[in-house]
Amino acid sequence: MGKRGQHHRSENITITLEQLVPQDHLVRKVDQVMDFEFIYPLVEKLYCENNGRPSIDPVLLIKMALLQYLFGIPSMRRTIKEIETNVAYRWFLGIGLDEKVPHFSTFGKNYVRRFQDTDVFETIFYRILSQSVEAGFVDPSVLFMDSTHIKANANKRKFKKKKIVRRAIQQYKEELDLEVNEDRVLHGKKPFAPKESRLETREIKESTTDPESGYYVKGERERLFAYSCHTACDRNGFVLGLILTPGNVHDSKMLEPLLESVTHHFNQPFAVVADSAYKTVQLAHHLLQRNILPVFPYTRPRGVKGMFKTKDFYYDEYYDCYLCPDNQVLRYRTTNREGHREYVSDPTICASCSFLSQCTKSQENKKMILRHIWQEAMDEVEHLRHTSVNRALYRKRQETIERVFADAKEKHGMRWARYRGLKKTTLQAMLTFSALNLKKLANWSWDSGGNPCFQHHFLRLHKTNPHFNVEMRVCLRSEKQWTPRPLLLLIHSLSIGFVNPFVRFFPSRHMSSNGHSRQLGR
């Protein structure tokens, strides 16, 4: 039986850090693909050249933070301990074996005194992203959007109740008010006079530990204080933009700001893929108005169990009325301020109807159906949901945005907020997604030619992707003629199963103006 001695512990040898770091280590891949020299002019104005003690290299500080998020180290204190003993980390930072590692509070003090109110980390995020675009790895033609909650660093039992002013959504308010009045005039009603806004209040729970977080309530999940990270990524999993809000902000309110943020750096996407939380009439109308393909899932009809749902009533567009399951007419009555047309039945007929108990519980024996003036956009979304393009795009959601959140939480510590406050938690999310993009960029660059010893058959996107001109004929039920809407499809053919680059996509079926199905010609 062999026995190894301990004399190697005190043995003197001549060796360099370059020899100790494996050739395929992640830090080597990152160092090969990313030049951090751009940080110096970025932070030059934050340092004084004439006074004070010699400062620590700002590139060293940024690299230390990236190391923490690249390898999912829970704190800067632990990161410093790892750097002291890990030769690969020392090689990446340029710190010799006999050099002293900076104190863990160095980054925190520099952040508070220099980086706190600057766009340094945002610039780093977009620099990594732009380099991924130049490498041909980013395909912003289809956006996959979703949000995930980050548990706040706060006790869920320590809170105070606070009344705040309920702010109405002003995104579509002016457009909706204008169309409501036009609809009322079209139906022979008087337009609404401008309404004075009344301040409505609502009561919320505010954490005494982290007041900027929000009380997160969603289904059967644990109720706690959290932040919501609204994120958009491409089909390859590169994060293109993010917005952090308190946990009590609904997902649908952040689609338009997030879309504007992404389109500010990239072109307008061909499609937006999102889950049922974003499936609202306003967003469907907004996306179709901007000539963007909305890809939303099926949602079950809402209502009381055992009662007729709205889908059980047939809408006749030509006569602008509804037909109930007993073939009785629900006629238009008015259009309210919220943008809903009201259709009501004749109570004298409903009183003797055999379906009355399944139709309404009104004491007046009257059934009323609300139909939004933008309901045609939601009907169009339902039609598009059955097409092969939408189905293929929505299936990719589980391997894009869902995988991004899974990796960020399981491997990079984004399940819990490390700091308190919206700004610092935004910094955490920004650095986490910067690390995700950087790691993907480094690994893909290494696999596609960075490793001289690796003979690869690696499929990747190039900047010279073929552009497919797709003409989608969208017929809203309120329109009496077909309205062709050309869309520029920037998706790689393999992403949605296209074989023929000249393929043209049409929705399979639409409703014509008289309410009957009509097959579109090809």
**One-character DSSP codes across 389-401:** HHHHHHHGGGGTH
The domain locations on the chain are 15-118, 133-289+397-433, 463-519
Q: Which has the closest alpha carbon to 230: 219, 239, 221, 217?
A: 239
| Cα distances (Å, whole numbers) of residue 229 to 73, 116, 408, 453 | 20, 20, 11, 40
pLDDT at 220: 79
Q: Which has the closest alpha carbon to 240: 230, 231, 251?
A: 231
* pLDDT tens track, the chain, 522 positions: 677 777 777 778 888 888 899 999 999 999 999 999 999 988 888 888 777 777 888 999 999 999 999 999 999 999 999 999 999 999 999 998 888 999 988 888 888 888 888 889 999 999 999 999 999 999 999 999 999 999 999 999 998 888 776 665 556 788 888 898 898 999 889 988 887 766 677 788 889 999 999 999 887 788 999 999 999 999 999 999 999 999 999 999 999 999 999 999 998 999 999 999 999 999 999 999 999 999 999 998 888 888 999 989 999 999 999 999 999 999 999 999 989 999 999 999 998 898 998 999 888 889 999 999 999 999 999 999 999 999 999 999 999 999 999 999 999 999 999 999 999 999 999 999 999 999 999 999 987 765 444 433 333 333 333 333 333 333 333 333 333 333 433 333 334 443 333 233 333 333 333 333 333 332
Whose tokens are 């900076």? That residue is: 102
Q: Which has the closest alpha carbon to 204: 144, 236, 246, 141?
A: 246
For 242-255, b/e burial (b = at least 16 CB within 10 A) is bbbbbbebebbbbb
Angle between the N-to-C axes of helices 281-289 and 375-385, in degrees from 0 to 180, rounded to the nearest 10: 80
Contact between residue 254 and residue 231 where contact means Cβ atoms under 8 Å apart: no
DSSP result, 373-386: TTHHHHHHHHHHHT
Whose tokens are 């910094």? That residue is: 427
Report the predicted TM-score, pTM, of the whole model to 2 decimal places.
0.81
| The residue type at 139 | D
> What span, in angstroms and rounded, lies between the C-alpha atoms of 433 and 121?
11
Q: Which has the closest alpha carbon to 89: 105, 109, 66, 110?
A: 66
Domain 133-289+397-433 has CATH 3.30.470: no
Q: Phi/psi of residue 225, each to 5°?
A: -85, 130
pLDDT at 450: 52
Contact between residue 200 and residue 243 where contact means Cβ atoms under 8 Å apart: no
> What span, in angstroms and rounded, lies between the C-alpha atoms of 197 and 168?
9
Residues in Cβ contact with 180 at an 8 Å cutoff, skipping those fewer than 6 apart: 192, 335, 336, 337, 339, 373
Whose tokens are 């994120």? That residue is: 231
